[in-house]
Amino acid sequence: MSGMWWIGFLLAAMPAGSTMAAAPVVTSPASTAPAAASPATPAPGDPCVGAVTLREAGLAPVIEQFVQPDKAFSLASLPPALLAKAMAVQKNAAARRARDWPDLCRYRAENAAVLAGGVQPDAIFLGDSITEYWAFAQPDFFGPTRLDRGISGQTTSQILLRVYPDVVALRPRVVHILAGTNDVAGNTGPVPDEVIVDNIRAMIDIAKANGIKVVLAGITPVDTKDRPAKRIAALNVRLRALAAQAGAIYLDYHPALAIAGGAIAPSLANDGLHPNRSGYALMRPLAEQALTHAMR
């Protein structure tokens, strides 16, 4: 398992009340809108009590290490206080997952604000950290009608449980699905390829049943030991076939990001997994083109 995956726990489990100084974080405009009193406001015993956003968690300096080009990720470069807090969060991650395994709390207040505002999104990006960090790397790519609903560290089993609250309930025209790399890494235990494909098939089925068009992205290239390039390539063959079968648009980021052998280019990822701003800059026009095609 990649040593970088601890960040997923960190982002999901940071306790409320953090006052750690952080670089400015730009979030979806929906996150700044007044939250609806219900269901956004946690009630006593609600698992969402204590849930916070990345901005509230003060973790922008960590994310910046992933997305700033030519900056290798290093735990040693984090301020001691932030590193200590991050490790404490990781230690308590299991308890957090026991309360809310798919992290339905993460975007609940933001989703309520979107619904209260009455703005129908054109597109929602659903996925794991590769989707989540995109909003940090290119905040101008997202806005009131294009929402980021990525959660770091998540597998397809967790993401599947978020399709209704984080996508269908918001009534977007299109959903961009990018998931599966953490299943390959075994973040929530060993997962056969068949289960990964079936989970994504279920995401597509739910979206289509609700009149939402689908852009299905293949798993992005990686250069880590826990995510073999051959397995990712084989999965992407199956995902391409699934998209064709389901009437979804298949989006292949590999030609823009990969080098010979299937790994992500070192200049495009600081940790061999997450695209940096240079990587996202290459992904952006491909995503724009796919979304435009889907919304015709």
Please report, for residues 110, 185, 190, 228, the alpha-carbon distance to residue 1 in angstroms, rounded to integers and kept in the order given: 31, 6, 11, 11
Provide the domain count of the chain.
Answer: 1
User: For the whole model, what pTM was predicted?
Assistant: 0.83
CB 108 within 8 A of CB 144: no
Cα 149 from Cα 177, distance rounded (Å): 10
Distance CA 74, CA 234 (A): 31
Confidence of residue 26 (pLDDT cuts 50, 70, 90): very low
Tell me the CATH number at 24: 3.40.50.1110
Tell me the residue range of the domain where 144 lies.
1-296
Return d(Cα 28, Cα 30) in angstroms, integer: 5
Beta-bridge partners for 215: 176, 249
For residue range 237-281, list pLDDT tens digits in order: 999 999 999 999 999 999 999 999 999 999 999 999 999 999 999
C-alpha separations of 222 from 136, 152, 277 in Å: 20, 16, 16
Q: What is the residue type of 130?
A: I
Rounded Cα gap, residues 156 and 180, in angstroms? 6
**16-27 average pLDDT score:** 32
- Tell me the CA end-to-end span of the chain in Å, nearest whole number: 41
Query: Which is it for strands 174-178 and 146-150: parallel, antiparallel or unpaired?
Result: unpaired
Can you give the pLDDT at residue 94?
63
Residues 6+ apart with CB under 8 A from 203: 126, 156, 159, 160, 163, 175, 177, 179, 214
Q: What is the mean pLDDT of the chain?
A: 83
Is the C-alpha dihedral spanning 68, 70, 73, 79 positive or negative?
negative
Which of 23-37, 67-81, 86-100, 167-181 is the most confident on average? 167-181
